[in-house]
Structure 1
Amino acid sequence: MMKFRKYFRGSGRVLAFVFAASVIWLLLDMAALRVSIDDVNSRLLKERIGRDRETVRHKATKRTDVAKNAALFRDPQKRVDFDLDTEVRFSNRAGKKAADVYRKRNNATPAIKDDSNADKAKLVDGKVVDVNHEGEKFNKLPEVDMGVNRDFGVHMNFSKSGKVDKDERTAAHVMRKVTTSKVEERRRNFVAGKGPSDSPKLTDAPPGRQEDKLHPEHKGENKLDEPVDDPRLLAKENISGKVPKKIGSASQDKISPREKMPKGQTVKTDKTDFDIKDKAIHINGKVNSALNQSGPDTVSHVTLATPKLGKGTSLTVGHKSSVHRVMSLDVTQYPRDFSAVGQFGQPAVVPKEKELESRNRWDEGHFNVYLSEQIPVDRAIPDTRPDACSGKLVHDDLPTTSVIFCFVDEVWSTLLRSVHSVLNRSPPQLLKEIILVDDFSSKDYLKEPLEKYMSRFPKVRIVRLKERQGLIRARLAGAAVATGEVLTFLDSHVECNIGWLEPLLQRVHMDRKKVVCPVIEVISDKDMSYMLVDNFQRGVFKWPLVFGWNTLTEEVIRKDQVQDSDPIRCPVMAGGLFSIDRKYFYELGTYDPGLDVWGGENMEISFKIWMCGGEIEIIPCSRVGHIFRSENPYKFPKDRQKTVERNLARVAEVWLDEYKDLFYGHGYLHLLDRSTTDIGDLTEQKALRKKLGCKSFRWYLEKVYPELDAPIVRAQGLIFNVGTRKCITQKDGSLTFETCDLSKQSQQFNHTWMRHIQQKGSCLEPQAPVRGVRLGHCDSSKPNLRWMHKSVIPNSAMKEHVVVELRPGPLCLEADTQHMGVRLSECNSASPLQKWQFTHYYTQ
């Protein structure tokens, strides 16, 4: 007993206590875990019981639906309505899955059966079956967009006469003239005992016959032999009357402000608060009686959900400014040829016997011109928007836009595909016009044949320049004749995706000083496939004003809780595709008219927008595919490189303030010689900047693009000599050596981006013919004042040397120990008297 007692004295007693407490704590944890497991098992059991009950209820409902369907088919009038509804539901389902198929697709093109009568369907055992696909069910066909895509949200109420109720304020107004007659005709034929074969047949144009492509959505605009009406262009809501909208459903397709939410509770959508009350919707404190009086769960004006609103923005729902969901228009020829080359954005393949022709025609556009001509000009492409985009709300009273394409010797098929994508996927009430600016093309097919082809589209105008002006002045020519409230500039080799336009116009509508860009996705120059790009991309630049793409960091995404559908602040736009308020464009002074042809205009207008009170955003809910070419297929009136360099020098001189040294110092020092590079008069541009009250470029770096590394000098501080262990000192205008002292201003020097070794306004200058060095007046245009050091010296053995740029041979700065000064000598990589170190280096 005494042996054990000694172990419980002093620290042993403490250890025993800790051990006992640990055992007790472990027992309590085990008990709590047992209780938690029992609780989880109980909840799982309840959920399973709930699912079983729901399954039983669903089966009962299905049996009831079968009975209803049997009764339905005894009524010929109801049978027609049911057939139309079946077609529309298939269209919605196929379109809704297109994005998922695309995201998960592999490089293989799905095998698709070619059948021109793909529009015919019948019911077999209560299921829709395609009678022309060997009994395959529709849901076994390729899951692609056919006409109106997911969440089109068209609400049409057909009366018995086949007309649309006047109170419907939705996208159905766009289609009703085309579709109403077709619906009425089908009803009359069925009642009269005529079968489907008695109805007018819809014909397919071969993929290669581009002149036969139709645009049924703009009635009267296609001056072709037979206009095509596509009943699948009607969404399910078009014929099913009022449809409840449920909040919180998995697909977010429906809105039910009263079914899920108790009275008076607030639902937060993006950064806008929707206060749900009895028969009213409150948005930012403003009340609108938006609920349909016919039922508590229907919404009459909030039809279909809005690009995310910024803080402080007010989204007012009222009689003059109601909202709807973004329209997922895709109005193309019907029936669509599933087997067409490149259909649905799939990669196309050149047949072996055509490979030589394909290679020979590459230089026509610097992409696969042969394949482009095999692809329909109105081909479908996958809906690549983030899932939340189809539920975004936009205002009904969005501004109209003029879409401006500038081209020179553009390939025929890509130009037509660009125009058709705008016509087919833009709400017609918002598309004021399409302006094609021909920058003095030489191709014959872009003259009279283009005029003839576009004559069927009243909204398309062609402006022809009498001499080559270049992209910048061509855009100004297009803007000068535009009448839309918003200018939308697009390149002439693009394909606009579903729902591309409304999110752009919504942001401009909310703030006229916002300049917005779509997400630019990739159309392969080799196989013409449509490819996704990474989310959270934004346009940036690196020195010397080189544009590039950069992804938001995970830290920023997490900190700001950025969603994949949120607008992204963009320091610099790519420049080829953007929308801007027309009046604001002119208030900013448009582009600098002194810029030539192409290059640098995206930098100029980006700096101007940000520094003069505007903002640039990339809108993820707007997607446009673009063919990125390895080089420009057209010629520059002058040397291309010199043209771009000259434009960038104008931008630097007007907008970069003291940071223009970084531009020149990163490889453009030769532009400082005005005898060889004339950048033109900058007086008007500098006066414009002063008139607009624009902020400094330092402000831009701090507030818009703080991630950019932009040190004002390369290096600074003391200049230490390795051989003497002393520092250069300025004394009465001459240079000498003294013991290093950080507190002495006379020993502080900078190595600038102009490669000057500078102290205040004086620079180190070689003396000729002697090899002395003195302090003289700084002049950026003089090459003999430039000293290479560290990163600007190509020879690694000379990195610590200070080399003056003299010809025919380089000379190095050397400590003169005899006269306690500095001089120039032939460079010797081993001499410690020629090795120098600054206190601080900002670039290596």
Structure 2
Amino acid sequence: MKVRKYLRGSGRVLAFVFVASIIWLLFDMAALRISLSDVSGQQLKERLIREREFYKKESMQALHPRRSFTHPVRRVADLPGTQKAPRRPKDDLFQVYRHKGEEQGQRVKDEQHKSLYLAKSNHSKFVDLKLGNAAAHQNDNAPKQNSPAKKEAVNLNVNAVGAEVTQKVAVKTLPAAHKAVDKVDSKPNEKVKDVKSEIQPKAIKSHLAQTTPHQLSNQDVKEVNEKVAQMQVKVTDKNNLGADKGLKPAVNQPAEGKSRVSTIAVRKSDVHKVLSLDATNSPRDPKAVGQFGQAAVVANHENSEVEKRWNEGHFNVYLSDKIPVDRAIPDTRPRKCAQSLIHDDLPSTSVIFCFVDEVWSTLLRSVHSVLNRSPPNLLKEIILVDDFSTKDYLKKQLDDYMSQFPKVRIIRLKERQGLIRARLAGAAVAKGEVLTFLDSHVECNVGWLEPLLERVYLDRRKVPCPVIEVISDKDMSYMLVDNFQRGIFKWPLVFGWSPVPADYIKKNKMKDTDPIKCPVMAGGLFSIDKKYFFELGSYDPGLDVWGGENMEISFKIWMCGGEIEIIPCSRVGHIFRGQNPYKFPKDRQKTVERNLARVAEVWLDEYKDLFYGHGYTHLLNKKVIDIGNLTDQIGLRKRLKCQSFKWYLDNVYPDMNAPLAKAGGLVYNRGLRKCLALQSDSLSFETCDLSKQTQHFNYTWVRNIRHHELCIAPQVQSNNFALQPCDNAKNEQRWLHKSSVSSLAEHFSAEVLRGMCLEGKLEGQALHLRACDANNLFQKWQFTHYYAR
């Protein structure tokens, strides 16, 4: 009764509210508990969504890359997929400068593989180098206690499975193997046992059979077991494999987003992931000027010093001297490059730097970047070729500094030879199997060397080039270059960068890690098999100092059976300057023109007229410039059985517009309303008829009006014309047509007789020379086809 009394009226409402509140609280607590227990799953789900969106955006960028011929450069902060975040202090940058702070869960695993691989190399002199930040921050990436372990995706690639499982078994059976690196220094003659060679396919198969269900399905295990069984095939001798074409099997990469088993036969050589070595002599200072490739600035009172020292190298020398010689730079490689598989038995290389009066700090930074970021077992030596420098610091001071590095040696030329002959001097004494040429103001990025050597390993006729990224000449910041850029040339043999055509990317389903066919290399940075380099005749020894050598070797490689590739997984920063600081022993312009003329005469065949017609017709007169003897170079081309330049244009650079004539077809006179025709040894006019070959003429790149082997030439004394055998070197056979003088664009104006034009005469239908008249219809001529302006 008492309860009923209290539940009357407003009491009943209060009771209902109280009970409802209790029930609501219980539901809320239950929901909160479920939410807390599922927070890790929710975070994982959100992360997968973000990564899916990123890879979708990345694939779209691969199909539709940014087009930028004049500005192929971006700041590191503009990396695709990165979020705009507040600027980090330098202490934080020290830990996240690679890939803008991306997680690197595989780092510890890679370091273990790296230790085993370097131990196998038996190069004790360099094993004691520190492994830089990658090793220093292993603990930062280790999973925390009480946190769920990450599940790793299973790699079903045979080579990858063999490499990774072998590594795991080796670690279990020989736990002391990781200490082998430290012991090598104390016992330099002791060889580390090759533990990988003892791992039999049975062990791999057994390991895979024990894989837990969440890693492999039964069907996957069955497929992998079948592939592992195929590993027990007869091993083909390395020297005989692909001997007919000089090719070796490539390492197939696992397809992104799905499991894929390689179908190539297993080689005797093992494979490993690209080593991201970054060794330093001492711990890096995260607060140093320009550290991590960041833009550096100077105070206002230092601007005068910057301007004063600018001309020493035509870049900010004052700021360069403030930056550490072994500074860190951002890892700008595409994401998948770190997972690329590389053969263990790559050839060794000699890295050749040629310099003359180079800035001290940039030369040292170039050398340190090679020493710190190259696998020691692959770096045979670094050769510094001093092309008769005049700076005192590049003499004894340089000798003393480099004496601490056993692999660095200096060659000094007794007189100025120029870049071309300096490189030949370095190549002549190189001991490595591969020659790697670099400019003396670069910074090699992590993992730069192995992808280059891998291409040479697969085919000795491949000439790989790194992606050349930009080091700002003003603030020394490191900037990356858009993917899918290639080297090309424009007439008259001017090098430039251009995007790979979008339809080519789509047709070949190119990824951002795929090698890019390159019609012309920049010339400053590339690797080439040493024997192949000399088989090709090296550089043309008749080329002087600098200029045109990149064109010459590019045409030679492609036309004589080789290939030039740009390797996106190899990246090297380069200081691009607005002005060439080097002095030429002779006139700079004449030296470059002479070199290009040699290249044109040897390699361009009939297309050399396009070179001369773009402003170099004066080089056709041998009295103006002597390009030297070409007998040896022409003989070399015949001996190598090289292709024609037309083949090069059709197969290597098909998007190059290279018509052999500027205009052609019938030549129509607007006053006579008839066409020019050849009759016996004279010219007349006839009713236009495309079927008559006697009415077909060409207007060539060297400005000749040509009918087969005969050219029209003005006669100075008689104000008439004559038909002469064509000779490109004769100025008197040249006519201006469609020239810059718009009022005379349709006229044929004699080049040697300024103001005189070719005129059709009504009486007798003859040709004469008359003073040019912009309104005279009898002086206006039109070709049927115009191929170029």
TM-score normalised to the size of structure 2? 0.76
What are the residue-to-residue correspondences of 1:623-634 with 2, within 5 Å? Answer: 623-634=571-582
The corresponding residue for 1:363 is: 311
Distance 1:456 1:321, change over 3 A: same
Query: Aligned match of 2:542 in 589, 594, 599?
Result: 594
Give the structure 1 partner of residue 355 of structure 2: 407
Q: Deviations over 1:412-469 (max 9, x none)?
A: 0000000000001000010000000000000000000000000000000100000000
| Corresponding residue number in structure 1 for 2:126 | 218
The CA distance in 1 between the partners of 2:317 and 2:86, in whole Å, is 22
Aligned match of 1:800: 746
Of the two structures, which has the highest relative contact order with CA contacts closer than 8 Å and spacing of 6 or more? 2
Match of residue 655, structure 1, among 603, 608, 614: 603
Distance 1:533 1:230 in 2: 24
User: What is the match of residue 447 of structure 1?
Assistant: 395
Contact 2:118 2:127 in 1 (8 A): no
Deviation by residue 1:675-728 (Cα, 9 ceiling, x = unmatched)? 111000000000000000001001001000000000011111110000110011
Q: Distance in 1 between matches of 2:131 and 2:659?
A: 62
**Alignment check: 8 A CA contact 1:304 1:392 kept:** no
Which residue of the other structure, out of 701, 705, 715, is the alignment partner of 1:753? 701
Q: Kindly tell me: are residues 739 and 461 of structure 1, through their superposed partners in 2, closer, same or farther at Cα, counting changes over 3 Å? A: same
What secondary structure does 2:275 align onto?
A: coil
Aligned to 2:486: 538
Shift of 1:819: 2.5
Residue in 2 aligned with 1:143?
96
**Counterpart check, 1:827 vs 2:780:** no
C-alpha spacing 1:723/1:606, structure 2 compared with 1 (3 Å): same
Deviation at 1:260, TM superposition (A): 4.7
Aligned to 1:169: 116
The equivalent residue for 2:153 is 246
Q: Separation in 1 of the partners of 2:103 and 2:599?
A: 43
1:373 maps to which of 321, 325, 329: 321
Letter in 1 for 2:117: T
The structural deviation recorded for 1:287 is: 8.7
Gaps in structure 2 of 5+ consecutive residues: 1-30, 43-74, 144-149, 166-207, 237-249, 257-261
Once superposed, what is the RMSD of the aligned Cα atoms? 3.9
> Distance between the aligned counterparts of 2:413 and 2:84, measured in 1?
45
SS across alignment from 1:218: helix
Distance 1:843 1:235 in 2: 61
2:365 partner SS: helix
Which amino acid in 1 is paired with 2:756? L
Tell me which of 217, 232, 248 is aligned to 2:135: 232
Match of 1:723 among 663, 668, 671: 671
Superposition deviation, residue 277 in structure 1: 2.2
**Which residue in the other structure is 2:199 paired with?**
none
- In the alignment of these two chains, the number of paired residues is 651
Change (3 A) 1:386 1:228: closer
- Spell out the pairing of 1:502-513 with structure 2 (5 A cutoff): 502-513=450-461
State the alpha-carbon separation in 2 of the partners of residues 108 and 337 from structure 1. 22
Letter in 2 for 1:755: R
Q: Deviations over 1:262-314 (max 9, x none)?
A: 567699xxxxxxx73268386898899xxxxxxxxxxxxx9996999xxxx99
In structure 2, what is the Cα distance between the partners aligned to 1:502 and 1:833? Answer: 68
Partner SS for 1:276: helix
Measured at CA, do residues 779 and 152 of structure 1 come closer, stay the same or move farther in structure 2, by a change above 3 Å?
Answer: farther
Kindly tell me: are residues 726 and 684 of structure 1, through their superposed partners in 2, closer, same or farther at Cα, counting changes over 3 Å?
same
- The within-5 A match list for 1:577-588 is 577-588=525-536
Q: For 2:565, what is the secondary structure of its paired residue?
A: strand
Cα separation, 1, equivalents of 2:678 and 2:370: 67
User: Is the 1:305–1:389 contact (alpha carbons within 8 Å) kept by the matching residues of 2?
Assistant: no
In structure 2, what is the Cα distance between the partners aligned to 1:176 and 1:780? 60
Indicate the SS of the match to 1:676.
coil
For 1:590 and 1:514, locate their aligned partners in 2 and report how far apart those are by CA, in whole Å. Answer: 15
Going from structure 1 to structure 2, the CA distance change for 1:143 and 1:229 (only over 3 Å counts) comes to closer
Q: Is residue 2:89 matched to residue 1:111?
A: yes
1:539-578 equivalences in 2 (<5 Å):
539-578=487-526
Matched, 1:529 2:482: no
The residue that corresponds to 2:38 in the other structure is 55
After superposition, the Cα gap between the structure-2 partners of 1:315 and 1:734, relative to the gap in structure 1 and judged at 3 Å, is same
Could you tell me which runs of 5 or more consecutive residues in structure 1 were left unpaired when the two chains were aligned: 1-47, 60-97, 114-137, 158-163, 178-216, 222-226, 268-274, 289-301
Distance 1:232 1:754 in 2: 63
- Where 2:615 maps in the other structure, the secondary structure is helix
- Name the structure 2 match of 1:839: 784
Separation (CA, whole Å) in 2 of partners of 1:54 and 1:666: 74
- In structure 2, give the amino acid aligned to 1:802: F
Query: Which amino acid in the other structure matches residue 441 of structure 2?
Result: H
* Amino acid across the alignment from 2:787: Y
Give 2:126's aligned amino acid: H
Residue 56 of structure 1: how far off its partner (Å): 7.3
SS at match of 1:170: helix
The Cα of 1:804 is off from its aligned counterpart by 1.1
Deviation at 1:352, TM superposition (A): 1.1
| 1:408–1:266 CA distance, 2 compared to 1 (3 A) | farther
Query: In the superposition, relative to structure 1, how do residues 285 and 596 fare at CA in structure 2: closer, same or farther (>3 Å)?
Result: farther
Query: Aligned pair in 2 of structure 1 residues 282, 592: CA closer, same or farther (>3 Å)?
Result: farther
SS of structure 1 residue aligned to 2:570 = strand
For residues 784 and 121 of structure 2, the distance between their equivalents in structure 1, rounded to whole angstroms, comes to 70
> Does the 8 A contact of 1:145 with 1:382 survive in 2?
yes
